[in-house]
Chain A
Amino acid sequence: MLKKIFCWLYTAAVFTFLYAPIIVLMAMAFNESQYNALPFKFSMRWFETLSSNTKLIDATMNSIYLAAITGVICVILATALMLGNRETSNKIKALVNSAVVLPLTIPWLIMGLSLLLLLRALGLDRNFVMLLIGHVVVSLPYAVLIISARMQDMDKSVEEASYSLGANEWTTFYRIIFPMISPAMLAGGFMAFMISFDNFVLSYFLIPTGTTTLPIEIYSSIKFGFTPEINAISTIILVLSLIIISIIAAIMGSSLKNLVR
């Protein structure tokens, strides 16, 4: 009983810490002052100015779009990589491990710059494909780490049973492996999405002229004036994500529970 209380308290404390700045962020979206000054005075003005700020809205849409594609590609690549990596020699495993972790160790500044120089060397202009590749490269390690963690201790015997019962590789994958790792794939995809969505540095270097993403817009505002419109749009994004997640959770509710064992 005591244990349960402690657990609840601890969880509450952690979530308080986690959401404190988020709540402040949202509160400031409704605060009159453009300098985030207290005392708090309610106002919707920032949402009003936001609705006419098409540039910011476009930027957000671009970010979401880019992050979504990055997420999907990362999950596919990571799953494929880990599937293939299971039965390789230790040497190859080590090589793959290092290759995957490598992008994490490169400051994004360098990554962005080097990719830009690569473009120049190839005689190409900045384009969406390279931007996407850059995002995939930095997000891939996260997806891989999550999916490999799940795959590592997956019970081989179920798989082998499936083969011995006559199923081919694809069926085995589809009906045995995939359900077992799908939460990890989902989590990996979300991670990749998150990383890409907030990525300023890479986008800054590789984005084609004339388009922009949300982090770039935010960073550009900081020299002269970062108005709470930014808070307003962040709030909207947050609320929308919460709604979407709730819907998904409600729909998938019980089936997810079964997958997680």
Chain B
Amino acid sequence: MSISKIIKKITITILVFIMMLSLVGCGSNNMGSNESNDGEGEAKLVVVNWKDYGSDEQKVIEYFKEKYNCEIVHEYMASEEELLTKLRTGGVGKFDVILPNASILPVAIEEGLVEEVDTSKLENYKYIFEKFMTLPENKKGDMICAVPWVWGSTAIAYNTELVDEEIDSIHVLWDEKYKGMIAFRDDFNDAVMTAAIALGQDPANPSDLDAIKQKLIEQKPLNRTYWKTGDEFSKLFANKQIAVGMMWSGQAASMKQAGEPIEYVIPKEGAIGWVDYWAIVKDAPNKDLAYKFIDYMISKEFQEAWVKSGGPAPVNSEVANSLDEKTIKDMNIDEDSLNKLYFIAYHGEDVKKQWNELWQEVKAH
């Protein structure tokens, strides 16, 4: 190759390289700029939560911007396990506040992914219901590692226009009368525990997994389909594809508020209960703001407004006491209902794997 050819070649290579670098550079500026702190000293609080689940409401964002000059940045999760994944792969030191529920909180605590919570820094902590302060999942020994926020149940919801009887038993999910109009939940925890309740076993410690597997296989053909995400259920329900289904209390309440003919009931045999906790991630960059955030989330102000607009049940006892009877009954947050609930707990990875495989087998049947 002659000199000129070589030079030409090199020039072109360099040009291409520069072009690529500038594109990449622009890209990083575009996308990386969110990372850097603005020079104005505005802080950023990174919160990991479900989408549209309270903490990303406009008024919360505005409140924090005004009061603390802090911008709340959300990162969303689509499943509990995903939250753990995010923490395990570089979340420590990056995220501030997260919302684990009882089934994964113990794992997070065990692996040292969350900080201990100094409850004296939370003004509103004392207003939390006794019951939630005593659940074991958020503690390591004597130390509290997470703050309960909202709770609810996963039970039966039905369409009052398509169902003319009053439902009160969990066996309605196995009722041939509603064949093709039922929607069971595609989640191994919910599935195993519900079947256990229906069989009279203890959902926290089922004695006969084979019977549970059989029961779930029996139930399978009665469904229109399984649902995994809240949105799938609402679409099925609103389009009259289903008459009966398993649902979360929180979403059932908001659907009712939105005008859907939905009725929610905790069956006499019992139902699954759950609690969502706020936890502070280990080495969180904005610990003080994190505390302020959590405090606001469990405050009467926030929880009352949220419940009234269709949020799940609050842990703040002041709120519960100020609600009227009807709302309490409607939302199934009365004493009676609470006692019928079997709260989701953590059982250890082996049990989780076992239940998951059981459910996979039912689905593959």
Contacts and interface: CB of A to CB of B under 8 A. Distances in A.
B57 to A, nearest CB: 13
Given A222-B78, A223-B51, A209 B239 contact: no
Interface residues of B, number: 42
A36 B241 CA distance: 13
A235 B218 CA distance: 42
A73 interface: yes
Given A69-B23, A209-B46, A211-B31, A224 B52 contact: yes
Contacts of A35: 234-235, 237-239
A38 interface: yes
A210 B90 CA distance: 13
Contacts of A126: 90
A37 interface: yes
Nearest to B20: A73
Question: For the complex, would chain B's binding face be called helix, strand, loop or mixed by DSSP majority?
Answer: helix
Interface in B61-86: 73, 75-79
A128 B12 CA distance: 25
Contacts of B89: 116, 120, 205
Contacts of A127: 28, 32
Contact of A69 (B8, B12, B27, B50): B27
Contacts of A224: 50-53, 229-231, 251
A76 B251 CA distance: 50
A226 B231 contact: yes
A51 interface: no
A219 interface: yes
A50 interface: no
B35 interface: yes
A225 B231 contact: yes
B31 A36 contact: no
Given A222-B78, A222-B231, A208 B32 contact: yes
Contacts of B27: 65-66, 69, 128, 132
B16 interface: yes
Contact of B31 (A37, A120, A170, A208): A208
A15 to B, nearest CB: 27
B35 A72 contact: no
A18 to B, nearest CB: 24
B24 interface: yes
B90 A125 contact: yes
A27 to B, nearest CB: 15
A47 to B, nearest CB: 18
A76 B238 CA distance: 49
B321 interface: no
Contacts of A122: none
Contacts of B24: 69, 128-129, 132
B34 interface: yes
B28 A210 contact: no
B179 interface: no
Nearest to B46: A209
Interface string B6-49: 00110010001000100110011011101100000000101000
A73 B78 CA distance: 32
Given A37-B238, A128-B31, A170-B8, A223 B90 contact: no
Interface in B261-293: none
Contacts of A219: 78
A222 B227 CA distance: 11
A76 B16 contact: yes
Contacts of B20: 73, 76
Given A76-B16, A211-B34, A223 B78 contact: yes
Q: Which of A38, A208, A216 has the most CB of B within 10 A?
A: A208
Contacts of B8: 170
B239 A37 contact: yes
A222 B32 contact: no
* Pairs of residues from A and B, 6 with the lowest C-beta to C-beta distance, nearest first: A35-B238, A220-B76, A210-B34, A222-B229, A226-B231, A128-B28
Interface of B: 5, 8-9, 12, 16, 20, 23-24, 27-28, 30-32, 34-35, 44, 46, 50-53, 73, 75-79, 89-90, 94-95, 229-232, 234-235, 237-239, 251, 258
